Amino acid sequence: MKIYLFLFIAQITIAQTKTYNFNLYDGKGYLPTMNQSNDLMLNSLRLAGDKVDYYSLSRKKQKLYFNLQTLFTALLGQAITHEEGHRSVLTELGIGSVSKPFFDKNLVAKVTGVTDETLINLRNTDFPNYIRLHTAGLESDYTYLKKEDHLFNFNEEDYGTLYGDYFARKFGSQFYYLTLLFKTKVDIKEQDDSELDRDIVGHDIYGMIRHLHRPDMEFYRYTNYNQLNPEEQKFAKKIGYLSLFNLLNPNIWRGKKIHLSENTLATPSFSFSLAPFGYFLEENMSLLINNKLKLSPYARQYFNKEHMFLSFGIGLHNYTFKNEKFILNSNLDLWNQPKDLKFETSNNELGFSIKNSLGIQFSKWNENKNRAYCNIGISYKTDGFVPEAPSLNDDFRFHLGLILSMQK
């Protein structure tokens, strides 16, 4: 793929407009959703990077900036959004919990404050959300990284400003997946902590795999590799190997965009992540046309235990019109998923999701280079799983936020 990129690349210089989307209300009366947590962290790092002005620094200071940002993300930043992903599932279901993103003596960040009785009841009454409780941290990592990909691919952010964060998150989440290829022992016992001080799930993926294969077994939170049976260990290794698709992304090596035509730039990539019934592979394409029209079509293949289900979608990103008085974002997802999100079924269920938001300009400054928009949106989805969408059920929401657009 790298050879392909260098054979077909033509580089052009274009002006850069940075857009910051602050999602203030996400359809429910609680804060924050997974989407809000990711946006808050991402925008904070970007705004801090703009203040630093990476490309005005000396080479030595650029290396220092990269190292400090990488260290922050590795030690705290990713843990915050990862654990908020877990917590957001519980909050959406009306279950209180506490996110503790600071690594403890066992080098574990966790979500606590939930009783065994509550978790058992969730497993017995809402199994897809119980599995999502395990996978939501890595789901958050996946959606956060996809947002960063769009920023790079659509020329809305510099590598210098954000690459330390991107690098740390990409390889931090990848390391988690690669633990599945080895007999990794999690030397933490449930009895070491009081019930309300225990992590809700322990090792995210081991727990997910064990519960998917044995949903009715005796309840306990933490799962080690040696507690998986041979079939489950084989499934774990499959996930570990398939996760390597995440490395097929030109942003990892700061690759240049493919020049499809005089006015069209393209960036292909592959992704892998988990779902409440298994996992999925994804083929992405970012298209930048006339440095204005920004499209992100994708194809996705969902997998449960033995069957594949196809999904497709497309996004429109930060499209301005009427002399930039308005800014439009839109996403459409069409899917075929396992019926009732079950792990062992061949039956399918079709669904869709649509989300539209319109930003209306209310202020501009700095010779009209900078603008502020009130962002109003609506979303609707049928029953099914959409990464970062708060609910697995049929769901309609109203959204309200603020967009800042700054031309560099």
Structure tokens at 200: 């809700």
Res 44: pLDDT: 96
Q: What whole-number distance in Å separates Cα of residue 55 and Cα of residue 163? A: 13
Query: What pLDDT digit, counting tens, does each position of 14-43 carry?
Result: 558 899 999 999 998 888 999 999 999 999
Q: What whole-number distance in Å separates Cα of residue 181 and Cα of residue 14? A: 43
Q: For the chain, what percent of residues have pLDDT higher than 70?
A: 95
Boundaries of every domain in the chain: 2-407
Looking at the predicted structure, is the pLDDT value of residue 243 above 50? yes
Looking at the predicted structure, is the pLDDT value of residue 358 above 70? yes
Q: What whole-number distance in Å separates Cα of residue 403 and Cα of residue 328? A: 11
Backbone φ and ψ of 21, nearest 5°: -105, 115
Average pLDDT over residues 85-114: 94
Q: What whole-number distance in Å separates Cα of residue 325 and Cα of residue 360? A: 6
Res 8: pLDDT: 35
Q: What is the mean pLDDT of the chain?
A: 93
Average pLDDT over residues 328-333: 98
Looking at the predicted structure, is the pLDDT value of residue 58 above 50? yes
Average pLDDT over residues 108-113: 95
Q: Which regions of 174-305 does DSSP assign to beta strands (E)? A: 258-261, 264-275, 278-289, 293-295, 298-303
Rounded-to-5 percentages of helix, strand, coil across the chain: 40, 30, 30
Res 16: pLDDT: 80
Res 186: pLDDT: 66
3-state secondary structure of 359: strand
Q: What whole-number distance in Å separates Cα of residue 297 and Cα of residue 282? A: 10
Average pLDDT over residues 96-110: 92
Q: Which residue has the higher pLDDT, 111 or 31?
A: 111
Average pLDDT over residues 91-107: 93
Q: What whole-number distance in Å separates Cα of residue 402 and Cα of residue 39? A: 12
Query: What pLDDT digit, counting tens, does each position of 184-242 carry?
Result: 766 677 767 899 999 999 999 999 999 999 999 999 999 999 999 999 999 999 999 99
Strands 264-275, 293-295: pairing kind: unpaired
Res 4: pLDDT: 38
Query: What pLDDT digit, counting tens, does each position of 278-328 carry?
Result: 999 999 999 999 999 999 999 999 999 999 999 999 999 999 999 999 999
Structure tokens at 138: 């890595």
- Given the structure tokens 């690594």, which residue do they identify? 103
Residues facing 342 on adjacent strands? none
H helix or E strand, kind and range, residue 316: strand 308-321
Res 15: pLDDT: 59
